[in-house]
Amino acid sequence: MTIKRIIVKETEEFCMEQLEGKLEDVIAILQDWKNEGGWEGIEVGYGRWDDSDVYFLYKHREETDKEYEKRMKQLEKEKEQKLKEKERRRKEYERLRKEFGDD
């Protein structure tokens, strides 16, 4: 069986102050993040602290084994719930068909 993994967007929050100051310092911080590997860009969000800007460093990666297992369990659970609902509706249909016949 082939495992089909999805791509997960991972984010890390950081405050605006980390990107303020001397250009050399900001470049050094960004270079450190780049050296960590995988980070693709920066997004901005609003309203976390007194309506100030909040930044998010993000990267895309393949889901881990643990994340895959959790997702598969959730999909199986949803499938079971749909089958139970379908069976409940089928029983209701049968009950109504007996009650009303083929009118």
Are 40 and 60 contacting, i.e. CB atoms less than 8 angstroms apart? yes
Q: What pLDDT is recorded for position 48?
A: 61
Q: Where are the domains of the chain?
A: 1-63, 64-103
Helical H segments across 17-64, by residue range: 23-36
DSSP-derived 3-state class of residue 12: strand
> pLDDT tens across 47-101, in order?
566 666 777 788 888 899 999 999 999 999 999 999 999 999 999 999 999 999 8
pLDDT value of residue 24: 92
Rounded-to-10 torsion of CA 42, 47, 53, 58: -10
pTM of the entire predicted model: 0.57
Strand (E) or helix (H) holding 14: strand 7-15
Those residues whose C-beta lies under 8 Å from the C-beta of residue 58, and which sit 6 or more positions away, are 9, 10, 11, 12, 39, 40, 41, 42, 43
Cβ atoms 12, 54 nearer than 8 A: no
